[in-house]
Amino acid sequence: MTATRVWDLDITARAPISHRGEMIGTTAMFRRMKVIQPDSTIALVPVVSGNSFRGVLRRLGEEMLRDALEYDHLLPLAVAHMLRNGGSIVKSNAEPITGRRLQQLRTLIPHLSVFGGAIGSAPISGCLQVGHVVPLVAEAIPILRFDYDSALPSRFDVETLESYSHLDDVSTARDTTPATGSETSTPPTPLMRYEIEALAPGTRFETFVQISRGTDVDIDFTADVLREFCDRGWLGGRTGIGHGQVTTGIAPALDDNVGTLWRTAITARRDEALDALVGLTK
């Protein structure tokens, strides 16, 4: 039996949110999307793409699957790449995965059933759909899923430029000042400055996650991934320098038993699941 389930996410930035679009000089601009306004004008709204958001969920799901099946160092590189990053379509003499084999794979590996992937010459579709992560700003009102009582800020109010500098390691590791009377000298490495366009901490976003015609195990796995996202998820890039931290609310609320069903199902058939994953490259 299959069902469709939708969760709405209310996300608040606790740090700058950056999502690179084009580069202008040494400034990484935020990705923007054209939104037609009620007066027929066009506004460029900074939006975190659904592809980026889905990638965060996929990586969280892969880590959870890896812990449950304990497959570290047991999978071919192509299979690990598919689970972690979605894989890639390449020329292959292997037969596409269809029919009963595909159904068995979806049953054994809920991550693959939910997110899909590509290995060999044919992609495997997943039952997960996500929305763009849209900031709650006045210019985005035409594409927001809900109405909001309070007045929304303009995108110009929440956009900010984060300025950084980088000094090459060599110039900080030793004194490059030439000795007195020396005919040769080592010029110091120049300071490099760059900027990152971001959305300011406190910016709110909305998005959704939907499972279309998924099994009970698919739904439980997705809900568990969302619970993990609420606990330690992130948005956009530059997480290594403090960007991307968020607080997330979700509706409907997640049940306390989320995660029990899918873990029980796959650990009971761990050997079959590993054999099915390894067999993807054959």
Q: What is the model's pLDDT at position 192? A: 74
What per-residue confidence (pLDDT) applies to 80?
A: 92
- pLDDT at residue 170 above 50? no
Dihedral in degrees, nearest 10, Cα atoms 65, 68, 71, 72: 90
Residue 229 and residue 214: Cα distance in Å, rounded? 20
pLDDT digits (tens, 9 = 90+) for 173-223: 555 555 555 555 555 555 678 889 999 999 999 999 999 999 999 999 999
Question: In whole numbers, what is the pLDDT of the chain averaged over residues?
Answer: 89
- pLDDT of the residue at 163: 84
pLDDT for 66 equals 96
The answer to whether the beta carbons of residues 200 and 126 sit under 8 Å apart is: no
Amino acid at 239: T
Sign of CA dihedral 119, 121, 126, 131: positive
Which residues, including other chains, have CB under 8 Å from residue 155's CB and lie 6 or more apart?
43, 45, 46, 135, 137, 138, 139, 140
Residue 201 near residue 3, CB atoms below 8 Å? no
pLDDT tens digits, one per residue of 90-147: 666 666 677 888 899 999 999 999 999 988 767 889 999 999 999 999 999 999 999 9
For residue 76, is pLDDT > 60?
A: yes
Q: CA 160 to CA 261: how far, in whole Å?
A: 44
**For residue 180, what pLDDT is reported?**
58
Phi, psi (deg, nearest 5) at residue 269: -125, 40
The larger pLDDT score, comparing residue 119 to residue 277, is at 277
Alpha helices in 116-235 (DSSP H): 155-158, 169-173, 216-232
Cβ–Cβ under 8 Å, residues 231 and 20: no
pLDDT for residue 46: 96
- DSSP characters for 68-90? HHT-TTTS-HHHHHHHHH-EEE-
Burial of residue 14 (number of CB atoms within 10 Å: 0-12, 13-18, 19+): middle
On the question of pLDDT at 271 being above 90, the answer is yes
Percent of the chain with pLDDT over 90: 68
Q: Could you report the per-residue pLDDT of 150-169, keeping only the tens digit for each? A: 899 999 999 999 887 766 44
Domain extents for the chain? 3-19+47-155+201-281
